[in-house]
Amino acid sequence: MPSTGDARRGLGTPAAADAHADNLTPTTVKVVHIGKFYFPIPGGMETALQQLCEELNPHVDLRVLVANTRPRTVTERINGVRVTRVARWGQIASTPLCPSLPRRLAEHRADIVHVHEPNPMATLAVWLANPRARVIVSFHSEVVRHRVLRHAYRRLRERLLQRADRLIVATPHHLDFPALRPHRRKCVVIPFGIDVARFQPNEAVRRRAAAIRAEFGPRTVLFVGRLVYYKGVEYLIEAMSRVSARLLIIGRGPRERALRRRVRALGLEERVVFLGEIAHEELPAYYHACDLLVLPSTQQSEAFGIVQLEAMAAGKPVISTRLPTGVSWVNRHGMTGWLVPPADADALADAMNRLLEDEALRHRLGEAARHYVSEHFTRQKMARAVLALYEEVLSETPRPIPSRKL
């Protein structure tokens, strides 16, 4: 079962972290989180950052620094969290270029700087600002595809990992990332969590879910995510040629045009529906309307799959792939859903048909998934563990501030 704890002592229990953090009270400790983007921009790392910061906000003096989508800096409050979107003046690969980010970081004089990786601009900002602060790094995933970018900032990232007081990973599988192996003694496993209550049905959600099912039919498969190379949506589309159901695709991305062409080539226009991005408050109804969620990712860039938690919280089983990441750690085969090999359209089709044709199995998996998420993957549990980690790090003797030599 999932657990949290310090890799130096083995993986401890969530209860231990909870008991430690229950003693914490609101404090004036200054914490700056540096992410890539922030809500309402979609993405797994963005969702994890938002969920964590909304829970941390009452307990620390919190600021969030992320990239804007435009060349100007704006500060706003989102659900009480102070978020500064730093001016972006372009991007390299998928990395936003925010020249003023180091200055913004230095201005806050934080006690703790919490960096969310992979994020080359954030890594560079910490190196340039060189803050006199404790440094925590949440290591969400490896950089897999962008080979040039990966090699260009590997040394800089290594300096950040050396500098860090602790490295947070979301599952035990993350401990095997090559970049983290030299630093395992500093690694702590704290699973991502979500606002489980948001996905519990109320009357409005039930009515909207019923309307969705009336529009798209009684057998509905859902995909939620960005349409990018590692999501494997092309295999899901191919599998739909063998499945008598409607596939609803929520999300946008650079692969959308190619995926639409593939749907037309297979003659699946009536069976596969691209919904684009939907309103944040609409998403729970789509989870409740569907029969199951499919996450067909093919590469290790998919390190966790927060959408799995959202579907499970709504009582829906998940079909995902056996990646050597946290994806298969979150979705337990035969307990909360089904696991299939990556890049295998036939296996996806077989799994979808099995679950769609067995209502009792879907119900059993969905109910187990709901209880599983409520016990192990709440954002409250995640935040308590992070607060306990902050307290632990602040109680230690400060480490020397490193030079900026590479």
Is pLDDT at 21 greater than 80 in this prediction?
Answer: no
pLDDT averaged over the chain? 91
Instruction: Give the class (CATH, top level) of 196-376.
Output: alpha beta
pLDDT confidence tier of residue 16, bands split at 50, 70 and 90: very low
The domain made up of 5-192+378-394 is a member of CATH 3.40.50.2000: yes
Q: Which residues have C-beta within 8 Å of that of residue 327, sequence separation ≥ 6?
A: 295, 297, 302, 303, 304, 305, 308, 320, 321
- Summarize pLDDT for 152-196 with one digit per residue, the tens: 678 889 999 999 999 999 999 999 988 999 999 999 999 999 999
CA distance 2 to 14: 8
Residue 273 phi, psi dihedral angles, 5° rounding: -120, 125
At 49, the amino acid letter reads: L
**301 is written with which tokens?**
């860039």
Residue 259 phi, psi dihedral angles, 5° rounding: -70, -40
Give which of 189, 223, 200, 196 is closest to 307, Cα–Cα.
223
Strand partners, 113: 32, 135
Give strand ranges (E) for 225-334. 246-250, 272-276, 292-295, 318-321
Domain ranges of the chain: 5-192+378-394, 196-376
Q: Which 8-state DSSP code applies to residue 373?
A: H
* 5-192+378-394 and 196-376: identical CATH topology: yes
Give which of 351, 367, 371, 357 is closest to 316, Cα–Cα.
367
- Summarize pLDDT for 30-69 with one digit per residue, the tens: 999 999 999 999 888 999 999 999 999 999 999 999 999 9
- What predicted TM-score, i.e. pTM, was given to this entire model? 0.88
Q: What is the pLDDT of residue 264?
A: 98
